[in-house]
Amino acid sequence: SAANNLFSRSPEVCVRDALRGLVIADPSLALIARTGSSSSEGVGGVVIRREPRGSPTGNRVRVISGGGAGHEPAYVGFVGEGLLDAAVSGHVFASPAPNDILEAIRQLACPSGLLVLIMNYTGDRLNFGLAAARARTSDLRCRMFVCDDDASIKDPAPAVGRRGIAGSLLMMKLACGLADSGLDLDCIVDRLESLRTRIATVGACRLPTGDWELGLGIHGEAGVGLLKSHQSSMEAVVGAVVKKLLADERIEKSMNKVKRQESSSSASCAMLINGLGGLSNLELSGIASVAFETVTAVSNLPVRRLYIGNLMTSLSAPGFSVSLLLLLGQDDKGWILETLDLPARRWPAASSPSVLRPDQLELAALPSDPTSASSDSSIPWQSAESLSSALASLSAVAAALIDARSILNQLDSVGGLGDGDCGDTMYRGAVAMQKFVEQPSNAIVTVSSGPRRLLAELSSLAQSDMGGSSGALFGIGLAAAAASVCQSPFDARSAIAALSTAAGAISEAGRARQGDRTMLDTVYGFLEAFDAGLSADEVWQRLPRAVRLARDGAVATAQMKPRAGRAAYVGAELSSTSESEARPDPGAWAALIILRTVCRAVGVAVEDTEAEDAAVLGSG
């Protein structure tokens, strides 16, 4: 049983405990007490709204739904204002008991009648159908609507039909909205029936092998197709799902019907991106982006409403589904969109992306203006050769960081102190810097624009392309360095002063000091070679020693306890890495690569420590 693997007091009571937790958290809800035998006390139950007797909505049609547990929030999580009046839950992936369903119907009985809305699964059809039949023998007005939106199986067995999956949530929202609007029970069913051939859902789930299975059911039923891991990019998987949706026989017939009509109004759709519980919100939003682009590109269907969320899950399955509801004609669009837009507490907020085309999703960025032209022009480069040397240094640094991607990632994985992505972060910055140097803007890379403007542009580039805390810290340091360039000429002494200013800004922003196992240990080691009042020539002569001190600072971080950044939270247990296995901080080593490469690029005789470096890094 799927319940055996859940974190709970016991598999027998896990669902009842979950229902109690839901009701405890929301005083507008209640559980229906069981009567008679208590043998099934833990199996499931009924969640119902605490609607006062004689309330303004008392004479409207009531709507209930339900099914097996494990799909939350569907359906017990959708009981509340604007949605269901009650939901009946069975055990995990098991249909509710008929007695529970009947009790929910009896609790909600009213002259306007009651709609039972379920998904097309044999157990639900039988148990809800039995309860509805028993209610009618007691002269309770009750009708049942069965959702069957799964388009993944092309020719389902007639006796079974299509499964009901996440598209049933759109039907639920419409049914509840129509009921709240005062529509008659038979009219509600007729309207839902008119939409049966215009709603379709296809899902996909990632398997432990990395492959993606198309059409996998919400209880783990086998799918209808497989995308191997090497073919399973997001574009490929979502594209396959959407194309299968649009090729559905029902959808194609509805679209062809519109094409044959002479009406000038075109078809459009509402779209639901549903997560099965194991994909993050970040991933679901990415799926929504690709699905939106694919639908508009393949079918030219405007997407009038877009819903995203983990709404009908399969415990924590790493999968998703895409549901489409076709809207045909102005009258049709009117009542459907108006009903979908009715307020409901537990329904996800809708977006209305139809006003946009995929190429209109972004606003143009404002022109970059890191420093004013007047301040730039007063501090030019000393010569065209100085500018060429600066650009050559940047190009060399970019190449060095790209080469060091793997080793920096390895350093960032030692002892669990980092995320293992320092090299990736530096790589992104390096690639962006490489493009900047190779395709410079004439307004930026000129002799008259000066070093201040170049440093400011590099600051913007670090913030926008590197990302993460490293991008922010490099951006802050470079911006401070740019602001400090206020005297001409810009020579070796000016460069060291700018570096010192950058280190101070990074120290303040990152709340780090020398000795905290950060890049500052490298930078401050480098700066120790320079005394105040040195001439430009004296600064130049001390650069080889500065590089040695920078390396000493970087190497020393291997035995330091981290006191800044993310590593500070896990660094107290640095003992997980023995002294012989300890490695330098990745940020400190990246700073060494940058400083050493710049010095080499401008002609400084830097000591060759390749063999010693390999030993320190554990790569020798």
Residue numbers annotated as active site? 219
Structure-token pair, residue 549: 């001190």
Structure-token pair, residue 219: 């209880």
- Cβ atoms within 10 Å of 7's Cβ, excluding its own: 5
Interatomic CA distance for residues 15 and 8, integer angstroms = 9
Interatomic CA distance for residues 117 and 298, integer angstroms = 32
- Cβ atoms within 10 Å of 272's Cβ, excluding its own: 27
- Whether 358 and 293 have beta carbons less than 8 Å apart is answered as yes
Q: Is the bond leading into 111 cis (omega within 30 degrees of zero)? A: no
Interatomic CA distance for residues 580 and 433, integer angstroms = 36
Chain mean position to CA 67: 29
User: Token match 């060759």: residue?
Assistant: 608
The number of CA neighbours under 13 Å toward the Cβ of 32 is 24
Which residues lie below 8 Å from residue 187, measured CB to CB, with a gap of 6+? 178
What does the DSSP assignment read for 208-239? Answer: TTS-EEET--TT----SEEE-GGG--HHHHHH
Q: Are strands 199-206 and 142-147 parallel, antiparallel or unpaired?
A: unpaired
Q: What is the DSSP letter of 9?
A: S
Interatomic CA distance for residues 307 and 311, integer angstroms = 10
Q: What is the dihedral of CA 382, 383, 384, 389, to 10 degrees?
A: -60
- Whether 30 and 23 have beta carbons less than 8 Å apart is answered as yes
Interatomic CA distance for residues 363 and 367, integer angstroms = 12
Cα-only R_g, the chain: 32
Q: Are strands 212-214 and 225-227 parallel, antiparallel or unpaired?
A: antiparallel
Which residues lie below 8 Å from residue 199, measured CB to CB, with a gap of 6+? 149, 167, 170, 171, 323, 324, 325, 326
- Whether 563 and 571 have beta carbons less than 8 Å apart is answered as yes
Partners of 306 in the beta sheet?
Answer: 271, 351
The angle formed by the CA atoms of residues 248, 251 and 253, to the nearest 5 degrees, is 105
Structure-token pair, residue 345: 């507490």
- Mapping DSSP to helix (H, G, I), strand (E, B) and coil, where does residue 323 land? strand
Interatomic CA distance for residues 519 and 526, integer angstroms = 11
